[in-house]
């Protein structure tokens, strides 16, 4: 046996003998017979190439090397116990890291915020690593196993075949007008009523799921907006509308951003065209990880949506 093959059990045996300074008492404490204990210590000495105990007739004492090895042995067992505790906490879902890809609007849903907050409070040892990305990028990273789960809008791209895709929150597309607009008193507004006015669009360059949904709404309406400004995300679009640069179509959940100079109006069209959802997407085998499985459970239970595949 060499030093690289010394087991944790052998270290435990050595420490016990060092504490008792008596093989028989150590063997009794360890609940083994004395001969194999003596042999284990001899094997350990042979492997380390040093004498750990000095035999003095019927008693023993630690050598200088033995005293140094004893300190190191105790440190190793302490570290091993810490490692065992970490492993057990991971197995119980109390420790670990979950990689989450999410679109900007995900955390504007009260149900999702509350679920994430409750999970963090009840699982302080689990780190939630959030990555703000588009739905398309999120699906690509999920496919490459660079993410554990995603919170995304429905996207034209295909969801990986081995993934669960569940609606956990819903909202709808709405028309956003600058304060003082001539249609300010209307409860519902047709897109045709503002089609010739300046329009602020989400950036086509980023190709977000929301951009595709809004574009699809215009296409179904048989209309084409007069785009005069583009912005990378919803809050930026809102700021431009508030500044009077034009109108916009955005998901209703962004009403949580308080702008004094914008008006939110329902779009007078087929409700099926304006319906939108936030989806939870994850690999089926993600549920084998206890922490990730619990987060999925939190999101589904607090979503306000009956869990169902889409």
Q: How far apart are CA 273 and CA 268, in angstroms?
A: 10
User: Two tokens at 61?
Assistant: 């004492």
Q: Is the pLDDT of residue 210 over 80?
A: yes
What CATH number should be reported for the domain whose range is 96-164+281-301? 3.40.190.10
Amino acid 122: pLDDT? 87
- The string of pLDDT tens digits covering residues 31-56 is 999 999 989 999 898 889 899 999 88
State residue 308's pLDDT score: 37
pLDDT of residue 305: 52
Q: What is the CATH number of domain 3-91?
A: 1.10.10.10
Task: Please give the pLDDT value at position 207.
Answer: 80
Summarised one tens digit per residue, pLDDT across range 163-205 is 999 999 999 999 999 999 999 999 999 999 999 999 999 999 8
Strands 226-231 and 59-62: unpaired
- Taking the CB of residue 166, how many other CB atoms lie within 10 A of it? 20
What is the residue extent of each domain of the chain?
Answer: 3-91, 96-164+281-301, 169-275
Per-residue exposure over 97-128, b if at least 16 CB sit within 10 Å of its own CB, e if not: ebbbbbbbbbbbbebbeebbeebeeebeebee
**pLDDT beyond 90 at 92:** no
For residue 257, pLDDT over 50 is answered with yes
pLDDT in tens, 212-221: 999 999 999 9
- Find the mean pLDDT for residues 12-24: 90
Fold: same for 3-91 and 96-164+281-301: no
Q: Comparing C-alpha atoms, which of 172, 105, 170 is closest to residue 133?
A: 105
User: 169-275 belongs to which CATH class?
Assistant: alpha beta
Look up the pTM and report it. 0.69
DSSP characters over 56-120: ETTEEEE-HHHHHHHHHHHHHHHHHHHHHHHHHHHHTTSSEEEEEEE-GGGGGSHHHHHHHHHHH
Residue 288 clears pLDDT 90, i.e. is over it? no
Q: Is the pLDDT of residue 306 over 80?
A: no
Question: Among residues of the chain, what percentage have pLDDT more than 70?
Answer: 93
Euclidean distance between CA atoms 61 and 21, whole angstroms: 6
Comparison of pLDDT for 158 and 37, the residue scoring more:
37
């Amino acid at each position: 046996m060499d030093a690289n093959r010394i087991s944790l059990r052998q270290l435990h045996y050595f420490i016990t003998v060092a504490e008792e300074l008596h093989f028989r008492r150590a063997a009794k404490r360890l609940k083994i017979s004395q001969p194999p204990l003596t042999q284990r210590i001899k094997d350990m000495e042979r492997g380390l190439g040093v004498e750990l105990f000095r035999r003095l007739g019927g008693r023993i004492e630690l050598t200088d090397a033995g005293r140094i090895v004893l300190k190191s042995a105790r440190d190793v067992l302490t570290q091993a116990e810490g490692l065992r505790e970490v492993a057990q906490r991971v197995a119980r879902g109390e420790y670990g890291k979950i990689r989450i890809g999410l679109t900007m609007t995900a955390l504007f849903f009260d149900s999702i915020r509350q679920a994430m907050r409750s999970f963090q409070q009840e699982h302080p040892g689990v780190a939630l690593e959030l990555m703000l990305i588009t739905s398309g990028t999120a699906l690509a990273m999920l496919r490459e196993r660079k993410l554990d789960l995603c919170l995304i809008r429905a996207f034209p791209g295909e969801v990986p075949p081995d993934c669960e895709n569940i609606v956990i929150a819903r909202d709808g597309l709405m028309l956003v007008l600058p304060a003082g607009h001539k249609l300010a008193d209307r409860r519902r507004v047709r897109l045709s009523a503002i089609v010739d006015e300046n329009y602020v669009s989400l950036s086509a360059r980023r190709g977000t799921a929301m951009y595709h949904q809004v574009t699809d709404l215009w296409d179904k309406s048989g209309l084409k907006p007069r785009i005069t400004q583009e912005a990378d995300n919803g809050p930026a679009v809102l700021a431009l509308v508030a500044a009077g640069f034009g109108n916009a179509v955005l998901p209703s959940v962004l009403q949580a951003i308080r702008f004094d100079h914008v008006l939110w109006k329902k779009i007078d069209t087929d409700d099926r065209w304006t319906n939108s959802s936030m989806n939870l997407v994850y690999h089926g085998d993600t549920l084998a990880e206890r922490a990730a499985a619990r987060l999925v459970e939190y999101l589904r239970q607090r979503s306000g949506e009956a869990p169902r595949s889409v």
